[in-house]
Amino acid sequence: MSALPGWRELPRGAVILEPGSSVRYKTASWRVLKPVIDQDKCVRCRICWTYCPEPAIVELDQPYTSRSGKAYKVMYAIDYDYCKGCGICAEECPVKAIAMVEEVR
C-alpha cells in the first residue's frame, strides 16, 4: 500500500489547478439512490439536464418513439459514473418521469 501524502503536499482547497479536471473524479460511489428515467413519460423538456449539478444527465442523439406513438429525436440518460444520487432531477421533472431507486452494488 502506498503512503498517503502529507498535508503539506496536498493542493489548496477550493482552487482549480487544472480546468476540466473534475472528469477524473468519479462521484458515483457516494450514491445510495439512483435516478431512472422512464423514456415513455419523458417529454424531452430538458429541465433535468439544466438542474443537474454534476452535470450527469446527457442528451443522446437517439430517436425514440414512446408507447403512445410520440416520436422524439433525442433521449436523456444518466451518466452513472458521475451521478451523486442527489435527486434534484427527480424533484424538478415536471411529469415525474424520473424515479429514485435503491442503488444495488
Residues that bind ligand SF4 (CB under 6 A): 35, 37, 42-48, 52, 54, 56-57, 76, 78, 83-89, 93, 95, 97-98
Least distance from ligand SF4 to the Cβ atom of residue 11, Å: 24
C-beta closer to ligand SF4: residue 11 or 38 = 38
Least distance from ligand SF4 to the Cβ atom of residue 87, Å: 5
Residue 104 identity? V
Least distance from ligand SF4 to the Cβ atom of residue 17, Å: 24
As a 3-state breakdown, the chain gives helix, strand, coil percent values, each rounded to 5, of 20, 20, 60
User: Please, are residues 82 and 28 in contact by the beta-carbon 8 Å criterion?
Assistant: yes
By C-alpha distance, which of 38, 35, 46, 33 is closest to 74?
A: 46
C-beta closer to ligand SF4: residue 11 or 50 = 50
The Cα 38–Cα 18 span in angstroms is 37
